Structure formats: C-alpha cells, structure tokens
Structure 1
Amino acid sequence: MKLLVLGATGMLGSGVCHSLRQEGFEVHGTFRNKTHNICLNLELDKMIKFDVFKIKETPLPFSSYNCVINCIGIINTLAEQDPLNTIYINSLFPRLMARRCRNYDVKFIHITTDCVFDGKHGKYTEESPHDAHDIYGQTKSLGEP
C-alpha cells in the first residue's frame, strides 16, 4: 500500500511516518523546508516539497496513492498569533485535500485534536458535539471533512 503523509517533517507527521514504515508501508511525505527534513533523518521512500499556500502550483499526484494522511496544522500555541493562516491551514486546507482525494477515489485521513472540545464534560466520542471556545479548537473542528 502506497501512502502520502502531508506534513511528514512535523512532530505529528514524523511520528506517523515512522510508525507506518515500521509496519512495512511504502511511505511518501511532503516537506516545507528541506533543512528540517535533514534534521529529522526521515527514512521515507520519497519526499515531495509542498507549500500549502501554493497548492495549484505544486500539484500532488493523488491518483498514485492508496491513502493520503493530513498531518499539517497550525498548533494551539501559535493559532492566536496568526488567525488568518490558522483558519486556512486548519479549516480550509483539509477540506480542499479531502475533495481532491475524493476526485481521485483516494482514501483521506485527517488527524485532528481533542481541543475541538472545551474539556468540561470528558468521555468524548467521535459523535460528541464540538464546543471549543478558542480559535485553535474552532478551526480544527471546521477542518474535519
């Protein structure tokens, strides 16, 4: 099975890549900054330079993958500093990728966070209503395809 991990050089993405490689999958990953990739020493089958703000200029070969896993996101501690980019990356970008994957009949997995909940109730399930009050949780909630 051939997988593409978006954001392979981030904290979440690198962990996902390492786990998938250990399971024997063919893993390709995207990166934004080549020096970051070198520091992580990722052993992937292929690395693809990708800019989330230039998705039309850097098209990904979706049809050649069985599954695309989105690990790209603005983290909680940075969300308030740049709300416009947070909305784009956490909310719009996952939906754009999900649509492209559907167009190519490719499975899309979007990894989100428990921060879509306010934390007052606990024992959340996937069906629990999202009730985040901060921009991070709200944008992550909106990004769920």
Structure 2
Amino acid sequence: MRVLITGASGQLGVELSKLLSRKHDVIKVYNSSEISDGYRLDLTDFPRLEDFLIRKRPDVVINSAALTDVDRCEVEKERAHKVNAETVRHMVRVGRVVDAYLIHVSTDYVFAGERGNYREEDTPNPVNYYGLSKLLGETYAMSYDDSLVVRTSGVFRHKGFPVYVYKTLKEGKTLLAFNGFYSPISARRLAQAIEELVDLRKTGVLHVAGERVSRYELAMKIKEEFHLPGEVREVNEIKGWIAKRPLDSSLDSSRARKLLSVDFQALDIEGMVI
C-alpha cells in the first residue's frame, strides 16, 4: 500500500515514517531542508500539490503538516488559513479522483476550553485563529466520505512543552507553567495509534490523546522523574502571548481506547528526544 505523509520532517511525521515504512511504500513530503529521502513541496502551491498527488496516486494520505505556532497564526492569519485549511480542501479534491483514504490530524484547540474532557460530538468553538484555521481544515476533511479527523493534544518529541520543561529545569532555571489543562501525547504513541487506524480505515472524528493534566502538574512530574534542579511556578498567564489559550482543552479519548490496542494514554516521557 502506498502511504503519503505530509509534514514528514515534523515530530509526528518522523515517527509515522519510521513505523509505516516497515509495512508500506511510504512517500514522504516535507517543506524544509531537514530530511533528504522524500519530496520537498510547498503545500500552499495548490496546483503543484494537486498534480503531485495525482501523479503519485497514494492509497492513503496522512496530513500531519500544520502551522502550529499559535501566536504566529494570530498574526499571519492568511498563511495559517492556507496551511491549516485550504491545503486540506485541495487534498480532498484529489482524494476523490484517486480514491485515497485521508487521515487529517487536528487539535484540541478547536474547543473553547471552558470545561475540558471534550468528546468527539461536542461543538467546537475556538478562541484563537490557530484553532479556527484547524477547524476549517476539519470541515474540508469531513466533506469527504473516506476521511478520518484525528484530534490530538500537545504532541511532543524533540520539542513541545515536556521537552521545554526538561531543558529549562536541567539548566537550573525557573519555569513558569500555565495552569491550564490539556492531554499531552508523545509523537511515538500517536504514530502507533495512527498506524492501527490506517488498517481499520475508520471515518468521522476520533480523539487520540493522553490523560488530562495541568501544565504545572506535568512540569512537577518531569522535575521529580529526572531529579532536575530548576524551580516550577504556576501562573495564570504567560507574558508575551499574543493569542488567547483555552484554559482546559483536554480530550476524552475513551472511544479510541476501546478501538485501539496501543496504550497511548500513558505519559510517554521516554518518547522525548533530548
């Protein structure tokens, strides 16, 4: 089976490429100079994107590419809309032509964060432009019958909040931890879950994320686990943030836990590349 992965140089893309290459013919697509064994492609060059997908005729497309810098999305809204939303529309256009199954990776930030533990059927209501652009991407994906939207939260590998915590505290510095809640998951565990979903070919929306935890609690766990010297302080906001953040965007992944064999809920700190 031919599996095309966009964002192949990203945290999730790297793990997906390693896993799926063992069983499938993987086509890696990226927009950076970080990897060489794939195809460099600007996904916002829509005619070229559509032509590429038609020529490669993948059986499965996994869209792990996104503009995830929340504050940058708030400033560069046109860019965020192109990458996180319009790109998906063009993938769907070609998907219908080549009969490809689409897995689109989305985010917990499509929710307002007023209560947390959001289920798949809960109504999205993003509080920042990043969440809005990702919600628009979901809408395009779900307009295609043979697609699955995988919502996740706080993915980490060589970057992300847990890695930032580790590096900051290891240097003996003080870490300011936002007291909001989310559901962090390592890129490795998320990739394992998506590997199963490729074979199951489910459609609709599915939440695949870790357990609900506050960033302060998580920082303290990492400090204790690695015996790090730095100090952790809980704060209500971080100075310098441009975009509003949801207070509790944690996801209820009970549906996915019943469906999948991988234990993606466990906090896979070992999944950090540090």
Specify the code of the residue in structure 2 equivalent to 1:64: R
Deviation at 1:123, TM superposition (A): 2.1
Distance 2:126 2:111 in 1: 5
Distance 1:66 1:15 in 2: 19
- For normalisation by structure 2, the TM-score amounts to 0.46
Do the aligned residues in 1 keep the contact of 2:63 with 2:105 (CA within 8 Å)? yes
Aligned residues: 136
Q: List per-residue Cα deviations over 1:76-122 (Å, max 9, x = no partner).
A: 24212311100111111112111211121111111001111122222
- Tell me which residue corresponds to 1:55: 46
2:94 aligned residue (100, 121, 130): 100
Deviation at 1:54, TM superposition (A): 1.8
Do the aligned residues in 1 keep the contact of 2:58 with 2:98 (CA within 8 Å)? no
- Tell me which residue corresponds to 2:160: none
Specify the code of the residue in structure 1 equivalent to 2:2: K
Which structure has the larger Rg over C-alpha atoms? 2
Please tell me the root mean square deviation across aligned C-alpha atoms, in Å. 1.8
What percentage of aligned pairs have identical amino acids? 27
Distance 2:46 2:8 in 1: 16
- Tell me which residue corresponds to 2:176: none
Deviation at 1:56, TM superposition (A): 1.4
1:84 aligned residue (78, 81, 85): 78
Alignment of 1:58-137 (within 5 A): 59-62=51-54, 64-75=57-68, 76-137=70-131
- Tell me which residue corresponds to 1:41: none
Taking structure 1 as reference, are residues 133 and 61 closer, same or farther at Cα in structure 2, changes over 3 Å only?
closer
Helix, strand or coil at the partner of 1:36: coil
Specify the code of the residue in structure 2 equivalent to 1:37: I
- For normalisation by structure 1, the TM-score amounts to 0.83
Specify the code of the residue in structure 1 equivalent to 2:29: T
Q: Which runs of 5+ in 2 are unaligned?
A: 142-274
- Tell me which residue corresponds to 2:34: 36
Distance 1:116 1:56 in 2: 28
Helix, strand or coil at the partner of 2:44: helix
Q: Which runs of 5+ in 1 are unaligned?
A: 39-45
Larger deviation, residues 56-65 vs 72-81: 56-65
Alignment of 1:21-32 (within 5 A): 21-22=21-22, 24-32=23-31
